[in-house]
Amino acid sequence: MRLFGAEARAAPRDYNNPFDTNFDMTRLGFPAYYRGVHPRRVFPSITVNGYAVSKIGFGTSSIGPVNDTVINNISNAYTAQSDVTHARAKHVLKTGFEYRTASRQLHITRIRTRTVLYNPLGRASAC
């Protein structure tokens, strides 16, 4: 018995990259006035007051991007493989080849600090 296999896969580009510029944080459920307070339209960097765990999120102490931090983002990955299997009596002979490629966009964050205090009763205040 002889079997041939081949497969190709592509991981599609993620256009909804939250670390890209022009990310609209209201999509996360933040109120619209937050958007006005932030100087750039990127995923917000969130630190939790009194939360002392040193490494969370992207190896930093905040949730979301931190200024001057590289966030790797593999945006395209392709895999192609083929193999042949030959079975005879008590033996199975297999050979195959696989090709994988990836390209990435590297994002380095440049966030100018704006602290937005969350106040569940009123408007956010910028400081």
Partner 1 sequence: MLTNVGGAISAPDYDQQGLYMQHWNLSVQRQIGAEVVLEVAYAGSKGTHLWQNLQWNQLPDEYLGLKEGLRRVIPNPFYRIIPAAQALGGATTTYGQLLRPFPHFTGVTSIGSTSGSSTYHALEIRAEKRFSRGLHLLASYTAPKQIDDGAPGARIAWMGEEPNFQNNNNRRAERSLNSHLASQRFTVAAGWELPIGRGKALASGLSPLADKFLGGWQINWISAIQTGIPLALTTQVNNTNSYGGGSRPNSVGRSAKLSGPIRARLDRYFDTSAFTQPEPFSFGNVSRTLPDVRGPGQVNVDLSLVKNLVLAERVRLQLRGEAVNAFNHVNFWNPGTSLGGPLYGVISGAGGARVIQLALKLYY
Nearest to 26 by CA among 48, 43, 40: 43
CA distance 7 to 9: 7
Measured CA distances, 75 to 33, 37, 63 (Å): 31, 30, 21
Using the rule CB under 8 A, is 11 a contact of partner 1? Answer: no
Select the residue interacting with partner 1 from 96, 115, 118, 123 (CB under 8 A). 96
Using the rule CB under 8 A, is 108 a contact of partner 1? Answer: yes
Using the rule CB under 8 A, is 90 a contact of partner 1? Answer: yes
Residue 61 beta carbon to partner 1: minimum distance, rounded to whole angstroms? 18
Select the residue interacting with partner 1 from 104, 118, 123, 125 (CB under 8 A). 104
CA distance 84 to 93: 8
* Site map (CB under 8 A) of partner 1, residues 43-82, x = contact: ---------------------------x-x----------
CA distance 124 to 127: 10
Using the rule CB under 8 A, is 21 a contact of partner 1? Answer: no
Using the rule CB under 8 A, is 95 a contact of partner 1? Answer: yes
Q: Which residues bind partner 1 (CB under 8 A)?
A: 70, 72, 90-104, 106-108
